[in-house]
Amino acid sequence: MKTRYPSFLLLVIFITKITYSQDPTFSNVYQNYIYYNPGATGIDGNWNINLTYRTQWCGMPGSFNTYYLEVDRSICTVPGAGGIGLMAFSDTEGAGLLRKITVGMPFSVRIKMTGNSYLFCGFYPSYNLLQIDFQKLTFSDQLNPYYGKIYPTSFTPSQNIYKRSYVDWANFGWIYRKEIQRQGNHSERFHRKLDIGLSFFHVNHPNISISDLDSPLPCKIVLFSNYLFPVFEKTGYYEIIMLQPGIMLEKQFTMFSYTMGCNGNFSYNEHAVILGLWYRNKSINLMKTDALIFLAGYRKMLNRREKSCIDISFTYDLCSSSLGYETYGSSELTVRWFWGECNLYINKKNICDREARKLARKKKAVHE
């Protein structure tokens, strides 16, 4: 005898899941800066293209997969302008059952502070699409107690149930950056860099329910700080060892976590190796670690004159929480290409290095 259970019970599970959904998390924070704070748009003064793929809990059926694209450009020749960019990502949960697609356009403005410091203020409106692939679901009326899934389901979803789009316009953040220039050779490059950032996401609490229920997306708050400084330098900027410790705190609904650690950058001529170790936890009890994050990367300078570089990095999250090691942890691959330079911290107001050099050559030609 075949036992039938109401199909809407399964829908309740998915609706509850969406109601308390949380944003995807990346382990390589420095390579996905704009994702955590739109104030980082154009902050490094160059063109930047970033591609990231992350898979979480690949040892479990229905793992979480995220694809992320980030493009941004600094606009340092316009007084007060910071940068403009494009962000897009696709997040899939449960073997394609639930999928979220987001496309947004972050932009930022900069405010001159004292000395070599700026305050970057960013805003990030986005368009989002949520959908569930019901063809990949198994309903109770399809199951036979002896032979498994052999029956067709009587459930037929309508268009307004399995798909929903919404605009998430209330995402903004601030980053305070202070850079200390070196003296002598390579003086246009920074010697030390301090970042302190605060950002808020989903302040408008958009409704993300795939049904007619009211399911507001909880607001997310991110606070972070990091400091980049050299510990060894042999002959100039291209032969140097630099460290970048940092900490980041995230709060969304009942979820709270903090990540802290350090990256080491070992540069020699046109090559650089990046190694990092990070620690993620949900409480101050260090005996209940959520994950240890190992990072390894390689950077190659493609064109020194144009300051064009490609950066490839890989992170692995070793899960040490109650989920156990059977999840196989999470892995993340990032490829970043950036070129050009727009130094905001030279002794000229709101002008690029490149534009300053052009102006100097024109003045020299006139005097000659």
Closest CA to 50 of 68, 66, 28: 68
Distance CA 75, CA 340 (A): 12
First to last CA, the chain: 100
- Per-residue model confidence (pLDDT) at position 327: 65
For 75, other C-beta atoms within 10 Å of its C-beta total 19
Under DSSP, the state recorded for 163 is E
- Per-residue model confidence (pLDDT) at position 15: 43
Q: Give the amino acid at 320.
A: S
* Contact between 328 and 64 (Cβ < 8 Å): no
**Cβ-Cβ contacts under 8 Å for 237 (sequence gap 6 or more):** 186, 189, 267
| Partners of 258 in the β-ladder | 249, 281
Tokens encoding 301: 């300078």
Flag residues of the chain having pLDDT under 70.
1-21, 57-63, 94-96, 136, 156-161, 181-190, 235-238, 286-287, 321-327, 341-368
Full set of structural domains in the chain with CATH? 8-367 (2.40.160.40)
- Per-residue model confidence (pLDDT) at position 145: 83
pLDDT in tens, 94-138: 655 788 999 999 999 999 888 789 999 999 999 999 888 777 677
pLDDT in tens, 152-168: 877 766 644 577 889 99
Distance CA 194, CA 34 (A): 16
Give me the helices (H) in the chain, please.
8-19, 33-36, 159-162, 353-367
pLDDT in tens, 256-274: 999 999 999 998 888 999 9
